[in-house]
Chain A
């Protein structure tokens, strides 16, 4: 039997997402695939302690990369919006590092920087170049009629969501980076 759960994690919540997926598996739901932006398809399974890990690669991952992850005992589940999902049974991890994708702080910080550069900054640019101009035009009453009201509301909602996402993700990614800072 398969089951689909809806849960929204931002680009700064990958560590919580890993824990959430592990808990699901402990309670008998193993991840089968993700459907963007926030649908998780699970299959019912024997409850088991399985470690889930996410890696961020916005570009095409190489065959070499996939082979290396396999060599290290990681099962590839799939990818969703730049994030690759892997898992490994907890008892197959010989050491703490064996249960992680990154064993030193430098590589953990590298991933955070990569997320900021390719996700957070583009988000901020869209905000500055599209959402703010649209929002100010709407506020100054440039849009009229029914369509105008619709646009004004749309830009209002986008304005709030973007501010929330940028502030939330920016602060949180900074906190993660600081946690791992050398």
Chain B
């Protein structure tokens, strides 16, 4: 994996994480924001400009790719590189979580 991409995306912003996580299934921007609201009970809400900007950046960096178009809406899906980054990030969050509960981890 390219080190540069890894440096940019690990650790990830909260919006970045949720967007990448949701794109394990093909989805468009507005769909992702609705799903994130549902998942988090409304605690995390991603605005239009942030959504568009993050999707464009992630597509350019190869973390997600264009899936197909549906009524002028672009559907995206996570790529292999995106999956690698996502699992790195999940591992990092798991470590944070365990440590926050006072549990030591050795990876």
Q: Which residues of A contact B (CB under 8 A)?
A: 55, 63-65, 67-69, 71-72, 74, 94-95, 97-98, 100-104, 106-107, 110-111
Given A68-B30, A71-B29: A103 and B74 within 8 A (CB)?
no
**In the bound complex, CA of A94 to CA of B33 (Å):** 13
Closest to A68 in B: B29
Is B45 a contact of A97 with CB atoms below 8 Å? Answer: yes
Say whether chain B's binding surface is mostly helix, strand, loop, or mixed. helix
Say whether chain A's binding surface is mostly helix, strand, loop, or mixed. helix
Is B30 a contact of A103 with CB atoms below 8 Å? Answer: no
Closest to A74 in B: B48
**Hey, which chain A residues are within 8 Å of B14, CB to CB?**
104
Closest to B48 in A: A72
Most buried by A among B14, B30, B48, B50: B48
**In the bound complex, CA of A72 to CA of B50 (Å):** 12
CB distance from A56 to the nearest CB of B (A): 10
Chain B interface residue count: which class? Answer: 20 to 34
**Hey, which chain B residues are within 8 Å of A106, CB to CB?**
13, 15
**In the bound complex, CA of A39 to CA of B51 (Å):** 31
Is A69 a contact of B13 with CB atoms below 8 Å? Answer: no
**In the bound complex, CA of A63 to CA of B52 (Å):** 12
Is B73 a contact of A69 with CB atoms below 8 Å? Answer: no
Pick from B15, B46, B72: contact of A64, CB under 8 Å = B72
Pick from B28, B47, B73, B74: contact of A102, CB under 8 Å = B47
Pick from B29, B42, B45, B49: contact of A107, CB under 8 Å = B49
**Hey, which chain A residues are within 8 Å of B52, CB to CB?**
64-65, 68-69
Closest to A65 in B: B52
CB distance from A164 to the nearest CB of B (A): 30
Does B53 have its Cβ within 8 Å of any Cβ on chain A?
yes
